[in-house]
């Protein structure tokens, strides 16, 4: 029996508009498996292997979509996350079914990783983009050529 194909994963993710990055998908699968979770965002990042800013961005996407609800007490940083299994998303059951197998998860993650990103994956832009926003120029220093006529290295000046 063959597993899900990349094309099947692509079609499924086209209808799941909120899943834009692998972190979005990984959080969705985590909460589907653990529908009532009491954790701090830092702990979620450590469990799933993402930086805090990536987790925060993905949490907000799931919260805005109605797939996740969050409560917080003032006594500690941990928050109760409740996965909304009754959310009106037609794509959710087939996506979770595909994600239930290793080959399905691999296909879905590959499609997400290959997508052009609408929001930066790392939450940071390049130094050139940062400099342009700040009205600065990005300067590239060229090192003298070695004996083979190749450039040794490039470095950005700040």
Give tens-digit pLDDT for 121-137: 444 333 333 333 333 33
Asked if residue 89 and residue 17 are part of one domain, the reply reads: yes
* In a domain? residue 72: yes
How many structural domains is the chain composed of?
2
CATH number, domain at 109?
Answer: 1.10.10.10
Asked if residue 95 and residue 145 are part of one domain, the reply reads: no
Residue 23 burial (C-beta neighbours within 10 Å; 0-12, 13-18, 19+): buried
Mean pLDDT for the stretch of residues 83-93 = 85
Asked if residue 149 and residue 87 are part of one domain, the reply reads: no
* In a domain? residue 1: no
Asked if residue 131 and residue 110 are part of one domain, the reply reads: no
32-50 pLDDT tens trace = 999 999 999 999 999 999 9
Asked if residue 110 and residue 85 are part of one domain, the reply reads: yes
pLDDT given for residue 115 in this prediction = 79
pLDDT given for residue 2 in this prediction = 64
Asked if residue 145 and residue 70 are part of one domain, the reply reads: no
The whole domain housing 12 covers 6-114
* In a domain? residue 121: no
pLDDT band, residue 149 (cuts 50/70/90)? very low
* In a domain? residue 120: no
pTM, full prediction: 0.69
Q: Alpha-carbon distance 74 to 67, whole Å?
A: 24
Look up tokens 């590239």; give the residue.
140
Long-range contacts formed by 132-140: CB under 8 A, 24+ apart: none
pLDDT band, residue 58 (cuts 50/70/90)? very high
Asked if residue 105 and residue 137 are part of one domain, the reply reads: no
3-state secondary structure of 65: helix
7-17 pLDDT tens trace = 999 999 999 98
Asked if residue 48 and residue 21 are part of one domain, the reply reads: yes
Asked if residue 136 and residue 62 are part of one domain, the reply reads: no
Asked if residue 92 and residue 52 are part of one domain, the reply reads: yes
* In a domain? residue 31: yes
Asked if residue 96 and residue 33 are part of one domain, the reply reads: yes
- Rg of the chain taking only CA atoms, in angstroms: 21
Asked if residue 108 and residue 71 are part of one domain, the reply reads: yes
Phi-psi region at 149: left, alpha or beta (left = phi > 0; alpha = psi -120 to 50): left
157 φ, ψ (degrees, to nearest 5) = -95, 145
pLDDT band, residue 156 (cuts 50/70/90)? very low
Q: Alpha-carbon distance 129 to 125, whole Å?
A: 6
Cβ partners under 8 Å of residue 85, min gap 6: 35
Angle at 72 between CA 74 and CA 21, to 5 degrees: 135
């Amino acid at each position: 029996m063959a597993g899900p194909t990349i094309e099947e994963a692509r079609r499924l993710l086209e209808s799941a508009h909120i899943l834009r990055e692998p972190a979005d998908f990984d959080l969705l699968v985590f909460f589907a498996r653990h529908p009532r979770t009491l954790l701090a965002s830092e702990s979620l990042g450590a469990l799933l292997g993402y930086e805090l800013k990536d987790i925060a961005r993905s949490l907000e996407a799931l919260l805005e979509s109605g797939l996740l609800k969050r409560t917080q007490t003032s006594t500690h940083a941990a928050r109760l996350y409740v996965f909304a299994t009754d959310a009106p998303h037609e794509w959710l059951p087939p996506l979770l079914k595909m994600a239930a197998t290793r080959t399905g998860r691999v296909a879905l993650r590959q499609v997400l990783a290959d997508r052009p990103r609408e929001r930066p994956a790392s939450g940071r832009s390049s130094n050139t983009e940062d400099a342009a926003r700040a009205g600065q120029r990005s300067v590239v220093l060229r090192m003298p050529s070695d004996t083979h006529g190749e450039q040794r290295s490039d470095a950005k000046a700040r």
